[in-house]
Amino acid sequence: MKKDKYTKEEMDLFNSKIGLHTLLKRKNNNPDKALEEIKYLTTLREKQEELIKLQNWVIDNDEKVVILFEGRDAAGKGGAIRRITEYINPRRFRKVALNKPTEDERKQWFFQRYINQLPKPGEIVFFDRSWYNRAVVEPVNGFCTKKEYEIFMSQVNDFERMLIDSNIHLVKFYFSINKKEQAARFKDIKSSPLKRWKMTPVDEKAQELWEEYTKYKERMFEATNTEIAPWLIIHANKKSSARLKAVSHLLEVIPYK
């Protein structure tokens, strides 16, 4: 590594605890790639420290926070949630990833099963997919009727207004990847014994149904990107920048300071 190639600040990053750990664990000796990773991890750690302050504010003031993570299969929603929750108090947040509805839940008002998961005072709830399943995944895959879809679309904005009027901070993320990137991630998942469980029958059809997903996704944005509950679309082909964008947005829109 030529010292004159890097600034003093960059050399300090190489010599930091995060920098030395990154250099030791990397399989190749490309210092530029290592520096990129070190900068990402350093920035992420700084933002994670702020997330602790944010959560303390939520706890101390009995605030309620709901964060929705939507996006195509393999878009990186779960990984972003893991980075956001890595250091905050596990007793004061919940991650919700609901299975398909039971027979009783199918007979209830659609939003009921999600209402049951809303935060109590002093709590943050992360939805890894949410009620917006009915806006995209369900109609594309034939899991709901056209009437059920239209009823949902006519009710969802009012439902979210009720949440916000009940002093819930609502944040909506959509992680967007392109078709080529999704295919590459599916290939990686299938080839890994540790990740293979992630592939579902719905995932298997995602590439084939790409254009259908696009059609319903665009209608969802058009109808539900409201002033009080806007979507933040995160371009997620690069996982590191997507995660930083999500964390930064939370720190900006939740008034913890």
Is residue 140 included in any domain, yes or no?
yes
Distances (CA, A) of 60 to 28, 30, 110: 46, 45, 33
**Per-residue pLDDT, 243:** 98
Q: Is residue 254 within 8 Å of 169, Cβ to Cβ?
A: yes
> By residue range, what is the domain housing residue 232?
62-253
**What does the DSSP 8-state code read for residue 61?**
T
**Per-residue pLDDT, 183:** 97
Lowest mean pLDDT among 32-36, 38-42, 72-76, 152-156: 32-36
Q: pLDDT at residue 1 above 60? A: no
Is residue 243 included in any domain, yes or no?
yes
3-state DSSP helix/strand/coil percent for the chain, to nearest 5?
A: 60, 10, 30
Is residue 165 included in any domain, yes or no?
yes
Is residue 238 included in any domain, yes or no?
yes
The better pLDDT of the pair 77, 2 is held by 77
| Structure confidence by residue, pLDDT tens digits, 102-135 | 999 999 999 999 999 999 999 999 999 999 999 9
- Over range 11-31, report the average pLDDT: 78
**Per-residue pLDDT, 2:** 52
- Over range 216-232, report the average pLDDT: 98
| Structure confidence by residue, pLDDT tens digits, 147-171 | 999 999 999 999 999 999 999 999 9
**What does the DSSP 8-state code read for residue 92?**
G
Q: How many domains does one find in the chain?
A: 1
Q: pLDDT at residue 24 above 80? A: no
Is residue 11 included in any domain, yes or no?
no
Query: What percentage of residues in the chain have a pLDDT greater than 90?
Result: 86
Is residue 54 included in any domain, yes or no?
no
**Per-residue pLDDT, 4:** 66
Q: What is the pTM of this model?
A: 0.91
Is residue 30 included in any domain, yes or no?
no
Q: Is residue 195 within 8 Å of 106, Cβ to Cβ?
A: no
Is residue 202 included in any domain, yes or no?
yes
Kindly report the CATH number assigned to the domain that includes residue 162: 3.40.50.300
